[in-house]
Structure 1
């Protein structure tokens, strides 16, 4: 099947520098959602995306994706847009027409739709309590579709019809060129409507198969930020329902945001206000505290993450306890039974089994062994202003509070560093390292004043 996606609109009501189809839903452009849904029907073929406003921005964003582009230099209606794509089609198979600003159409709906239409005409419809703004589906006394009338051209009686056109249709490949050539623009908008093709099919006796969608948000278009936000919530509710069906516990299904993929094991619990981005894996019995942000991270079984923790491209081992207010930056790899407490930041570091960094510390570019205790306020000083260096803390070490470890430096196993030390040379095994200046009292020392 050929797939043509109309994506030439400006999206003036978005009030944005971005083309409408690059506006984000679930943290990816609306057009990307449509391309992903259509993939199962393409079987190796490239979809044709009709672009216009912001054409170069759209081309650039999807430069690494197998997409063909057709330019609609002037926006003269949907039939005119599809006509621009015809020279780029690879064969005479049927043409599925989709829209870059109708992002939540599902792969399952498209598969059912394509099977039902076969080699004939397919028309996706939806029934709305308030059909204002949509083209109405016209049927004869036997229930067969005989045409579509746009609201601006509809009579008062036709406007009472609640079954409306979604714009998504399938047109036989051997008919589409001829029908497009017959489309005129004698309507109030002076545009070439793709919906005219349905009338041509009815006149020629070509069977028109209709599929009525159950969820109206699947076929809802986006023209402004209010509609975009409405679809965002619909998307999040759908993803939350899927998680709960798999056994995930949510404190509030209305207060979770999944902006990528979230894979959960059994008995996972997620508190309110959490955001998941990229590819996130939560294994069995993981608990995520409120208002945490987890991005492209794997959290192993039986781990507890307390409130307001932020993870980015990290790995957390089993039975760890993290937070509250902890930050794991890219390259943080925590083994099992690790404790990372409040206001601790870990970056590009490996933390061994059972080690603890519980308070107000920065651990960067560090290789830490097992059963290490890091006192409050400890810093691995990994940057000299030009280069980064690593700190090594071996097994069973105790680092006192307010310690600075100036890399490159190694604290060998079973050693203790006294509080307040600045460690600039390696510490041998099984020893106590203490560095404290002799106390000095300066009488009459003037306190600095503001100049």
Structure 2
């Protein structure tokens, strides 16, 4: 029996005070919707339906960037969660497996939790509801259950004092086979203060129809929803706390964990050392034994074993560093392959380039890769020595074992083993500095008067 996902992403999220759809706000450089889809994707669903509404075109465009294999259903008017789920029905015509309803603004539900819901369904429950034990139940809906058998969901405003004392709360996430889900939704009414069709009503309808309903319980942290900027900040903090703990558990050393920031897909190998104030953007892999020094920023790059990066280094997308590479302070590398043992230690930009093994790039050097329209490539051979403040005007090649003189502007290829000097001959004018300074000071004095 297959599984399908319905992810609700139609809400405006007015409390975010944003022109961007709420589900596209990011935690760890990934939209909230991306987190929800990633959790569901672990089940290898046959179908994934994202229900869009507010900012529908923007959300649809974001799905392609998330590489999500999802169909889109549109909720033209926001008439409640049951109404939103119903919009997915035409896209699941003929599907007979289980359907799990997720929320695009609830980013932290684990794949293992969703798998437990699927197993409960296949163990005979007609309807499965995800609940959590709340530290402060507040105004959450309460799950009235005996053991794992769910009797009903009671909204806070309708609950008795005895029911309000219940700490088992409703997350909103549900699972049922497609036929049962949509049959129950057909029976949901909107006789309530908001005039909306609530998905939670299907529990009472299922029990009235002598169907079984079961509760699967998860940690409260998994059910964190994001409705405000404060919620977004709390979600980011929660993600970072878990990511830091996981990195250290897997063998990385974080000298000051609270000042290291991860992306959703950061990978650190064993015995990686990360100093304070390091930020990882998306798409970073750091292999075992590398060191990332303080105040460095890495994004879209691969750092091999034994590399030392920083302090104050920036690795941009496409930076591929082989073993034992040294990238020093105020160095930026972008779209470049840097081979084993090469050193780029100070105040340098290397972009759209290939730096050979053991090459040494002197301070203040630049690969001048952009002519205002096109990007061009620089090739630096193995064991080459690039003198300080060399401008390599691409496309250009510096051969193996070649050198450039400090201050050179290199516009032509340098053969293997050659020395390139590309600067004007120095001329000294005796006494001219003193005469110029005297003239300038006199002019300044006249202007002051």
Q: Same fold (TM over 0.5)?
A: yes
The C-alpha deviation readout for 1:77-107, integer Å capped at 9, x for no partner, is 1111112222221413232111011111111
Aligned to 2:182: 177
Q: How does 1:25-424 map to 2 (within 5 A)?
A: 25-43=27-45, 45-63=46-64, 65-90=68-93, 91-118=95-122, 120-139=126-145, 144-214=149-219, 216-312=220-316, 313-330=318-335, 332-364=336-368, 365-380=377-392, 382=393, 389-405=394-410, 407=411, 409-417=412-420, 421-422=422-423
Give the superposition deviation at 1:153.
2.7
Q: Is the 8 A contact 2:29 2:282 kept in 1?
A: no
Give the superposition deviation at 1:143.
6.7
Give the superposition deviation at 1:440.
4.0
| In structure 2, C-alpha distance between the alignment counterparts of 1:155 and 1:190, rounded to whole Å | 23
Deviating 4+ runs (over 6 angstroms) = 448-451
* TM-score after normalising by structure 2: 0.88
Change (3 A) 1:170 1:297: same
Change (3 A) 1:398 1:14: same
Relative to its length, the structure with more helix (as a share) is 2
| In structure 2, C-alpha distance between the alignment counterparts of 1:315 and 1:127, rounded to whole Å | 46
More divergent stretch after superposition (19-28 vs 409-418): 409-418
The C-alpha deviation readout for 1:286-333, integer Å capped at 9, x for no partner, is 111112111121222111112111111111121222111211012x21
Change (3 A) 1:197 1:259: same
| In structure 2, C-alpha distance between the alignment counterparts of 1:65 and 1:139, rounded to whole Å | 36
Give the superposition deviation at 1:447.
5.6
| In structure 2, C-alpha distance between the alignment counterparts of 1:59 and 1:97, rounded to whole Å | 19
Give the superposition deviation at 1:170.
0.9
Give the superposition deviation at 1:190.
2.8
| In structure 1, C-alpha distance between the alignment counterparts of 2:39 and 2:384, rounded to whole Å | 49
How many residue pairs get aligned? The number is: 424
| In structure 2, C-alpha distance between the alignment counterparts of 1:177 and 1:368, rounded to whole Å | 64
| In structure 2, C-alpha distance between the alignment counterparts of 1:288 and 1:37, rounded to whole Å | 30
Q: Is the 8 A contact 2:148 2:215 kept in 1?
A: no
Q: Is the 8 A contact 2:297 2:314 kept in 1?
A: yes
| In structure 1, C-alpha distance between the alignment counterparts of 2:378 and 2:57, rounded to whole Å | 44
- Aligned residue for 1:278, secondary structure, equals coil
- Aligned residue for 2:100, secondary structure, equals strand
Give the superposition deviation at 1:19.
0.6
| In structure 1, C-alpha distance between the alignment counterparts of 2:416 and 2:337, rounded to whole Å | 20
Q: Is the 8 A contact 2:37 2:68 kept in 1?
A: no
| In structure 2, C-alpha distance between the alignment counterparts of 1:311 and 1:393, rounded to whole Å | 23
- Aligned residue for 2:282, secondary structure, equals strand
- Aligned residue for 1:436, secondary structure, equals coil
| In structure 2, C-alpha distance between the alignment counterparts of 1:410 and 1:327, rounded to whole Å | 23
| In structure 1, C-alpha distance between the alignment counterparts of 2:144 and 2:292, rounded to whole Å | 51
| In structure 1, C-alpha distance between the alignment counterparts of 2:359 and 2:76, rounded to whole Å | 62
The C-alpha deviation readout for 1:359-413, integer Å capped at 9, x for no partner, is 1221243211222222222211x2xxxxxx32222233332322221x2x02223
Q: Is the 8 A contact 1:122 1:170 kept in 2?
A: yes
Structure 1: 5+ residue runs without aligned partners? 383-388, 423-434
- Aligned residue for 1:348, secondary structure, equals strand
- Aligned residue for 1:217, secondary structure, equals helix
Aligned to 2:16: 14
More divergent stretch after superposition (161-170 vs 109-118): 109-118
Q: Is the 8 A contact 2:15 2:228 kept in 1?
A: yes
Q: Is the 8 A contact 1:26 1:235 kept in 2?
A: yes
Aligned to 2:372: none
Q: Is the 8 A contact 1:153 1:187 kept in 2?
A: no
More divergent stretch after superposition (107-116 vs 84-93): 84-93
| In structure 1, C-alpha distance between the alignment counterparts of 2:128 and 2:406, rounded to whole Å | 71
Structure 2: 5+ residue runs without aligned partners? 369-376
Change (3 A) 1:417 1:60: closer
| In structure 1, C-alpha distance between the alignment counterparts of 2:49 and 2:152, rounded to whole Å | 26
Give the superposition deviation at 1:199.
1.1
- Aligned residue for 1:279, secondary structure, equals coil
Root-mean-square deviation (CA), in Å?
2.4
Q: Is the 8 A contact 1:31 1:103 kept in 2?
A: yes
